[in-house]
Amino acid sequence: MEVPENFYSLIETVCRDLYIQSLKEIPPDVVEAVKRAASRETKEVAKRIFSHYLQSIELGRTKDMIVCQDTGIPIYWVEIGGNMRLDGSRLSKAIVSGTERATREHPLRSSIVSPLKRENRQTSTGERIPIIHYDFVADSDVLDILFMPKGSGSENMSSLKMLVPADGVNGIKRFVMEQVVGAGAKPCPPTIVGIGIGGSSDLCMTLAKKATTRPLGSPNPDPEIAALEKELFEAINQTGIGPQGLGGETTALAVHIESAWTHITCNPVAVNMQCWRAERRRAKVWADGRVELGF
Amino acid sequence: MADYRLKTPLSEADVRQLKVGDSVTLDGVIFGVRDGNLIRVFDKNVPPPVDWHGAALLHTAPNVRKLGPGRYEPVSIGTTTSMRMDRFTEALLRDHGVRAILGKGGLSDKSAQLMAQYGAVYLSVTGGAAALETLQIEEIEKVYWEDLMPECIWQIRFNGFGPLTVGIDAHGNNLQRDVQMEAEKRTADILKKMGVA
Ligand code: SF4
């Protein structure tokens, strides 16, 4: 189905709203996980930190406040239904404009600078920013946009290792444990630990990030990978790092793995963490202008 | 573990009584600092525009709305990672008489030793909970060095900031460091149990 002329301005508004709303409303699955984690703590300090998390979540929802001050790097994961006929370059432009409008109209802090001069356009955009990932879904009439304002505290803890096949799955386990423990308090634990395995270096890291966008605790469909997720989840939560690295029972809210096939000589693994606030917001848009918001 | 309510400026006795894990709720003026303004003070040798004796300094990441010349209101004021500012601890305590540094993620052991020596504490603010922190602000009273925006020095008056957690006390204890060391020790055992020698 061909999209109408006003479709692109609709996308612009949708993207503006996704950015603003994502900073104020924490996804319900994340809220549930934070509540569950809070109820497991026995130590005074950990209980105190979790109560601050829950109060901030509540203020975002009820008082229209920004939960965490970091407006992040804007990232969009876009899935285009195979039955939709649209102009991809106009779609990209609308997403960029929506990002700029959110920043100007709210206003939001623009956290985006050029890499060397550190120049800030005050629009949350710049060369290749926002980051837009495209994917295509057969037999679908929907444009699905998932937005995340990726916070820097957790993003700065990202890492990739090109392991060799002889390192095996044990090499993967060791690397993940070292990275999560090494990050300590910095990514504002408890985090969602996203892990990419396989692919090339760039794909591996993209998979790690994509893994953090999955609904919390949803297992990977491959039972062998799901078992690895469970094993690492339990291991990370035995380290005792806890909320804000001040000690506690929960260091990870979830461990998600995404995979791709790789080269015979490669065994890449990537870790990308998402902080406790784990912000994401989704919109499904139909060609006739219907919009459904979700997470 | 005890709960304290203290008012700035802080005395040496105020901070010496605190132990790691205690909670502290702060009232009064707190100065927002970070990379840019501390670099100007210590690397470019520009004296700070205010007296910091007894002060509490917050490693802050502010989103503000401008109301008029030199006047701002908070949109979302949160806390940033302290470790980047670790090297300024000594001069802040020795030359400027700072009594409390507030931030997220903790400071080094060297900073903990200096805090024991000079009588100061590190108070851990809950990272990511900016909505709560913003609500505890009464007013942004003054802004110095606006040319560094947003890395100016922010004079912020809080009403009931916290409860914050004493992360480093004035007796050489460093909670986040201890948790980190324990986690590293445990990880070695965990990996062994997983069959990853
Ligand atoms: S690490 Fe995440 S939750 Fe913590 S302050 Fe940064 S963006 Fe916010």
For chain A, percent of residues with pLDDT exceeding 90: 97
Report the C-alpha gap between B197 and B194 in whole angstroms: 8
State whether A144 and A207 are in the same domain. Answer: no
DSSP state letter for A129:
B
The reply to whether ligand 1 has any atom less than 6 angstroms from the CB of A68 is yes
Residue A91 is inside which H or E element, if any? helix A88-105
Based on the domain organization, do A87 and A202 belong to the same domain? Answer: no
Give the DSSP letter of residue A186: T
- What is the average pLDDT score of chain A? 97
Give a yes or no: residue A134 inside a domain. Answer: yes
Angle between helices B175-193 and A168-183 (to 10 degrees): 170
CATH class in words for B3-193: alpha beta
Tell me: do A14 and A134 sit in the same domain. Answer: yes
Same domain, A140 and A219: no
CA dihedral over B104, B110, B115, B116, signed as positive or negative:
positive
Is the distance from CB of B21 to CB of A45 less than 8 angstroms?
A: yes
* Amino acid at the residue B161: F
Q: Could you give the angle at which helices A223-236 and A168-183 cross, rounded to 10 degrees?
A: 40
Give the model confidence (pLDDT) of B137-151 as tens digits.
Answer: 999 999 999 999 889
Q: How is chain B split into domains, by residue range?
A: 3-193
Q: Which domain holds residue A99?
A: 7-23+67-151+279-294
* Same domain, residue pair A142 and A286: yes
Q: What is the pTM of this model?
A: 0.96
Question: Helix or strand or coil: residue A269?
Answer: strand
Strand order in the sheet with A191-197: A159-163, A267-274, A191-197, A252-259
A244/B127 Cβ within 8 A: yes
Render pLDDT for A77-110 as a digit per residue (tens, 0 to 9): 999 999 999 999 999 999 999 999 999 999 898 9
Please name the member of B77, B179, B195 whose beta carbon is closest to the beta carbon of A240.
Answer: B179
Q: A69, A181, A273: best mutation site toward chain B, by most B Cβ within 10 Å? A: A69
- How confident is residue A118, by pLDDT bands cut at 50, 70 and 90? confident
A255 touching chain B per CB within 8 A: no
Instruction: Report pLDDT for A203.
Output: 98
ipTM comes to: 0.94
* Amino acid at residue number B93: L
Q: How far is B192 from chain A (nearest CA, A)?
A: 10
| Residue A142, domain member (yes or no) | yes
In the structure encoding, which two tokens stand for residue B46, read together?
């520009």
Picking from B63, B132, B176, the nearest residue to A55 by CB comes out as B132
CATH number, domain containing residue A250? 3.30.1330
Do the bridges between strand B23-33 and strand B153-168 make them parallel or antiparallel, or are there none, so unpaired?
Answer: antiparallel
The neighbouring-strand residues paired with B118 are none
pLDDT of residue B1: 87
Token pair recorded at residue B188: 């070695």
